[in-house]
């Protein structure tokens, strides 16, 4: 098998690195020496590449985080996206832009000009989870009759498995009214931002993603299930903080919305 020439590989890697730097730089860059001369100047051709790449990245962010564009306005959001893309560590690491954008919520928290919008990072985190949920692998829904049979026969050992599109979300702020206002702009909704925790579970149903708002007890009960505790262990844990927790209603909600894909029997974890 013919081996690659190390000097060629080194040169190619150098050119690739210079191209990335040239895209990030707004000034004349050494990358232009590698660009073939024709009727368009190398600097102009690099600028075209730069603009196309930045526009594609900006569009990908807007497509993933539409609530952010609605909340701060297109001009502000476009500028935020551009600043985000100016940092090499924020660049995509694969060819698929659908896998990219997970660092954007934290980036928003670091921008001084929008620090007063304390809920913005959490809104973006919610959008990123919804994006991941939509792109999750396909799955089969757990048959409720099959589950009922297991509940009757091996309740103590039963672990329920969420489908791969399920994500749990929490925020120190009440975000539901803000999101309702974005999704229903023609309705009159009085938004009062309160520092009061909110909880949600996200999943994909057919070809769209749904956010279900939860009580605190439901959130921690579902979180125990997601972390691999048996159904009864999860129930016993939540009873310590909420003796009136309605197990049947919570299970019905999960089954109604097709959040389970499987079950398994397991050795009992110590709580």
**Residue ranges of the domains in the chain?**
1-135, 138-271
Note the CATH architecture for domain 138-271. Alpha-Beta Complex (3.90)
Q: Give the span between the Cα atoms of 119 and 107, in whole angstroms.
A: 13
Burial class (CB in 10 A: 0-12, 13-18, 19+), 31: buried
* The model's pTM: 0.84
Q: Is the pLDDT of residue 41 over 90?
A: no
> Residues 203, 210: contact at Cβ < 8 Å?
yes
State pLDDT tens for residues 95-105: 889 999 999 99
What mean pLDDT comes out for the span 231-252? 96
Tell me what pLDDT residue 1 has: 47
Assess whether pLDDT exceeds 70 at residue 225.
yes
Alpha helices in 65-175 (DSSP H): 66-72, 74-85, 104-109, 120-134, 144-153
Strand partners, 263: 160
Rounded to the nearest 10°, the torsion over CA 158, 162, 163, 169 is 180
List Cα–Cα distances, 6 to 11, 13, 31, 57, 72, in angstroms: 9, 11, 21, 33, 49
Percentage of the residues of the chain whose pLDDT score is greater than 90: 58
pLDDT band at 129 (very low <50, low <70, confident <90, very high): very high
| pLDDT at residue 235 greater than cutoff 60 | yes
């Amino acid at each position: 098998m013919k081996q690659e020439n190390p000097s060629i590989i080194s040169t190619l890697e150098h050119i690739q690195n210079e191209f990335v730097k040239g895209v990030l730089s707004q000034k004349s860059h050494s990358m232009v020496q590698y660009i073939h001369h024709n009727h368009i100047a190398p600097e102009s051709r690099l600028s075209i590449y730069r603009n196309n790449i930045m526009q594609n990245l900006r569009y990908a962010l807007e497509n993933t985080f539409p609530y952010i564009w609605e909340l701060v306005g297109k001009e502000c959001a476009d500028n935020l996206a551009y600043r985000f893309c100016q940092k090499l560590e924020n660049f995509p690491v694969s060819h698929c832009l659908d896998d990219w954008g997970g660092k954007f919520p934290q980036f928003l928290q670091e921008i001084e000009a929008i620090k007063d919008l304390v809920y913005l990072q959490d809104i973006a985190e919610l959008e990123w989870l919804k994006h991941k949920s939509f792109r999750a692998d396909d799955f089969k829904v757990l048959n409720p009759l099959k589950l009922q049979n297991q509940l009757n026969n091996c309740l103590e050992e039963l672990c329920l498995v969420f489908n791969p599109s399920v994500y749990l979300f929490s925020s120190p702020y009440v975000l539901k009214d803000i999101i309702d206002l974005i999704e229903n702009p023609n309705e009159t909704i009085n938004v009062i931002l309160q520092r009061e925790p909110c909880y949600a579970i996200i999943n994909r149903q057919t070809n769209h993603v749904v956010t279900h708002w939860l009580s605190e007890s439901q959130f921690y009960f579902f979180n125990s299930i997601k972390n691999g505790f048996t159904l009864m262990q999860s129930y016993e844990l939540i009873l310590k903080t909420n003796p009136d927790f309605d197990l049947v209603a919570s299970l019905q909600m999960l089954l109604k919305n097709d959040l389970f894909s499987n079950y398994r029997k397991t050795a009992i974890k110590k709580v």
